[in-house]
């Protein structure tokens, strides 16, 4: 595939209120869709997907989530609420409204999927479609946590500890995240790799990314438990995709069976033949799954 790194897109910093600015790339014309990256990536992870969605007739918005990449990194609090998915989702809604999009589709991968889900839950009148990639609701992961989950997803619990993960990662962030693994530049694409490396090399970004995980095990879990107790569900059409060469299905079975309890309009989905970072590894297959869904 020829590399066309966000050709035709415009990069900007956009004020979304409460002292937070998001670094954003936008492009295209048509029904809007916002793409939300996961850890430890930035919005550039979508560079092989976003241009294809534009070519298919969509407006595409790709932000760095708060705390990630070159977006603002607000001071945290004891309850980690500034890095809750509710705070991040509110950023997304304000970002899209500021760009003139009162209604839009949301696609999220990994940690971005939790933000995407929260956007659909908290702003149901704004979200037209929800696609979640490689995730279950946080509370579902935690309630299924067993020895296999703890061994495979140990980083959730390590990242939630105070101070120690910062010291470990910042000692050699490129080594921690395997940024110089042979073939890594080609796998990510040169520009995406450079953006990723710059992000993980910034201690403030590392700390903010860890706050995302700390919020996940505390305030985010509590919010999801409250949703479930109140019977709140995602009401827009929802698509569930996962990487066949990652471990989500191995650990938890078919993710659609879990998401069925959290949605009222589940439109199916399925595995993508890829490792975890499907937007980089299998962009064509991912786009082929997203486009029919976004047209529903």
Rounded distance between C-alpha atoms, residue 253 and residue 71, angstroms? 35
* 56, 49 Cβ separation under 8 angstroms: no
In terms of Cα–Cα distance, which of 188, 165, 178 is closest to 48? 188
Examine the residue annotation and report whether 110 is marked as an active-site residue of this protein. yes
Pull the structure tokens for residue 221: 């879990």
Examine the residue annotation and report whether 220 is marked as an active-site residue of this protein. no
3-state class (DSSP) for residue 266: strand
Q: Which residue has the tokens 């979304």?
A: 16
* 73, 209 Cβ separation under 8 angstroms: no
Residues 6+ apart with CB under 8 A from 78: none
Rounded distance between C-alpha atoms, residue 84 and residue 71, angstroms? 15
Task: Choose the catalytic residue: 91, 110, 212, 227.
Answer: 110
Strand pairing class (59-63; 104-109): unpaired
Strand pairing class (127-133; 238-243): parallel
Rounded distance between C-alpha atoms, residue 138 and residue 220, angstroms? 8
Please identify every residue annotated as catalytic: 110, 276
């Amino acid at each position: 595939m020829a590399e066309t790194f966000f050709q035709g897109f415009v990069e900007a910093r956009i004020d979304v209120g409460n002292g937070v600015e998001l670094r954003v790339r936008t492009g295209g014309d048509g029904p809007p869709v916002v793409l939300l990256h996961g850890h430890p990536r930035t919005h550039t992870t979508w560079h092989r997907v976003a241009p294809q969605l534009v070519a298919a007739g969509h407006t595409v918005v790709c932000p760095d989530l708060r705390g990630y990449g070159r977006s603002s990194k607000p001071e945290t609090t004891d309850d980690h609420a500034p890095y809750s998915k509710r705070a991040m989702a509110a950023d997304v809604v304000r970002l899209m409204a500021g760009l003139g999009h009162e209604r839009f589709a949301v696609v999220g991968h990994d940690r971005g999927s939790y933000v995407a889900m929260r956007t659909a839950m908290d702003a149901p009148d704004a979200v037209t479609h929800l696609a979640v990639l490689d995730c279950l609701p946080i509370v579902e992961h935690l309630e299924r946590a067993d020895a296999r989950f703890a061994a495979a997803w140990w980083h959730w619990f390590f990242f939630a500890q105070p101070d120690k993960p910062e010291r470990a990662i910042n000692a050699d962030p490129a080594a921690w995240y395997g940024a110089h693994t042979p073939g890594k530049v080609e796998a990510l694409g040169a520009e995406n790799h450079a953006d990723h490396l710059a992000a993980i090399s910034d201690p403030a970004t590392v700390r903010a990314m860890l706050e995302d995980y700390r919020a996940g095990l505390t305030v985010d879990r509590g919010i999801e438990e409250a949703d479930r107790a109140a019977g709140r569900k995602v009401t827009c059409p929802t698509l569930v995709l996962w990487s066949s060469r990652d471990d989500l299905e191995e650990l938890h079975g078919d993710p659609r069976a879990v998401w069925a309890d959290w949605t009222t309009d589940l439109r199916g989905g399925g595995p993508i033949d890829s490792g975890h970072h499907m937007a980089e590894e299998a962009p064509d297959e991912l786009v082929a799954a997203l486009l029919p869904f976004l047209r529903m």
